[in-house]
Amino acid sequence: MSKIIRIGTRDSELALWQAKIVQSQLEHLGHKSELVPVKSTGDLVLDKPLYELGITGVFTRTLDIAMLNNDIDIAVHSLKDVPTLLPKGIVQAAVIKRGNVKDTLVFKDNEEFLGSKDAVIATGSLRRRAQWLNRFPTHTITEIRGNVNSRLQKLEDSDWNGAIFAAAGIGRIGVRPEEAINLDWMVPAPAQGAIMITALEEDEETIAICAELNDKETEICTTIEREFLNKLEGGCSAPIGALAVIKDEEITFTGVLLSPDGTKRIDVSRVKKLGEHNDIAQYCADFVIERGGKRLMDKIKNSDRKTNVYSTKALTEDQRLLFHQKVVSESTDVVKINLNRIHPRFLKNEIQNVIITSQNTVESLTTNYSAIELQFKNIYCVGRRTKRLVENRIGKVTHTEKNAKKLAEYLVEFMEGSAVTYFCSDIRLDALPTILAENNIEVTEIEAYQTKYDGVKVTDTVEAVMFYSPSTVESFTQKNNKDLIAFCIGETTANEAKKHFKDVRVAKVPTVESVIELVNEHYI
């Protein structure tokens, strides 16, 4: 292959380890490659909504988008994190020889607590929680989130008795403590311990190269496990375990479905000769369903889940599908916009310098007038999305900055002339016109739209709130004074949020999708 294969990976230590394994195997076969750590969804350049493409995986969607945008050639995933249905246009190109499939208990001091009535075990997995409570019903399970290293540190700093990890994860990056035992009785997650490579369906050359890395035994076993999950899960999250093993030309399959509290458990096992195994997943899923699995799945699917994240902007269906399964979101527009009629006298002559700081301004201008009627020589904008909208509907943008303060500083230094027309809201930040006025630039403000605060009182179960502008913070805090986690789209919004909340976090890029990603990082 003449080109360098771009290997997409998340930027966690474990993900990078897995990607480097794939890279070394490719290079051993004589193929050049480079790692491309992908941190954020960024601006999505897609022809179809995410939900139409089937992009729903919490851990995989960033790489799916990067691949569909042709930013990477292949992506490397922990196969257990990959949705059973891949997005349109993306295929499984290979699975690497499987590592340790077991779950591992990392404990403090010693294992004597296993025989005790009271103990505290940490896990963020519904499957591990259910199986532990099924075996130790008097123990307490506590939530734990974060990457492998941060979870190990949380265990060290806590008074918990132990925490459960994937053996492959702590083993691969070399952080398995001596105080750890494999849980041979716990049925692992489908495809646990396996590494998957995906590629674009149309990229036949790359797929052919990846096929050289494929481990057939791992492929057969993980395919059965994932088919069992797909046929049983029915689109909802449930504590499901599955493991297929090949030995002496036979496949032994073990599956389990539990209630979240571990009080109900349905087991299934099946042994078939290799080559006669194609019906294992269907048979075992039907077996579980017929023995109460359907009622159990329906109960889980319809369980009374409480809202824990509130968005101050109404989210689209494809945006809501991006949330982690632990997130129960509610969203409404806490800021309502009324477009003003802009009098023709303001536009009768060409305006040399115009400032537009929001998409709402663009909507107001183009609702009142056609692009031909909007005679602006220089247009200055805040935000990439506002710039794109201006250039699509009005005309070329002279310069853009990421916030109003930076734009004001730019105009003071580089703007032609000594006057600007600022199309704004009745509620706006004072930084821009103040900086300009202090530097002897005449500012004519034209109210393009009105902003109405329409916040709602959220329930006590809400733990976090998503903000997209300073005005959404102001609207929300008029009716809510609870100290929540504030997930913010940018620094300007975050600065306003810091006046009301102690825990304020800022998205990597100023998009709704990036704010959702920030929320998911907290709940993973």
Give the closest residue to 40 by CA, choosing from 519, 517, 522, 521: 517
Task: Give 108-114 contacts, CB < 8 A, sequence gap 24+.
Answer: 108/155, 108/160, 108/161, 108/162, 108/179, 109/179, 110/179, 111/181, 113/161, 113/162
Give the Cα separation of 387 and 381 in Å (integer): 6
Active-site residue, selected from the candidate residues 47, 64, 73, 81: 81
Q: Do 345 and 369 touch, CB atoms closer than 8 A?
A: no
Q: How many CB atoms lie within 10 A of CB 266?
A: 18
Give the Cα separation of 434 and 128 in Å (integer): 57
Active site residue 81: yes
Q: Do 347 and 377 touch, CB atoms closer than 8 A?
A: no
- The owner of tokens 């004074």 is 481
Give the Cα separation of 219 and 135 in Å (integer): 31
* Paired residues of 336 in beta bridges: 452
What are the backbone angles phi and psi of residue 189, rounded to the nearest 5°?
-65, 145
Which two tokens mark 43? 């601006």
Q: How many CB atoms lie within 10 A of CB 2?
A: 5
Q: How many CB atoms lie within 10 A of CB 275?
A: 9
* Paired residues of 195 in beta bridges: 78
User: Residue 472: what residue type?
Assistant: T
Which two tokens mark 104? 């591992």
Give the Cα separation of 296 and 367 in Å (integer): 53
User: Mutual orientation of helices 404-414 and 431-438 as an angle, nearest 10°?
Assistant: 20
Give the closest residue to 320 by CA, choosing from 46, 127, 49: 49
Q: Are strands 309-311 and 464-467 parallel, antiparallel or unpaired?
A: parallel
* Paired residues of 293 in beta bridges: none
Q: How far is CA 315 from the centre of its chain?
A: 15
Active site amino acids:
81
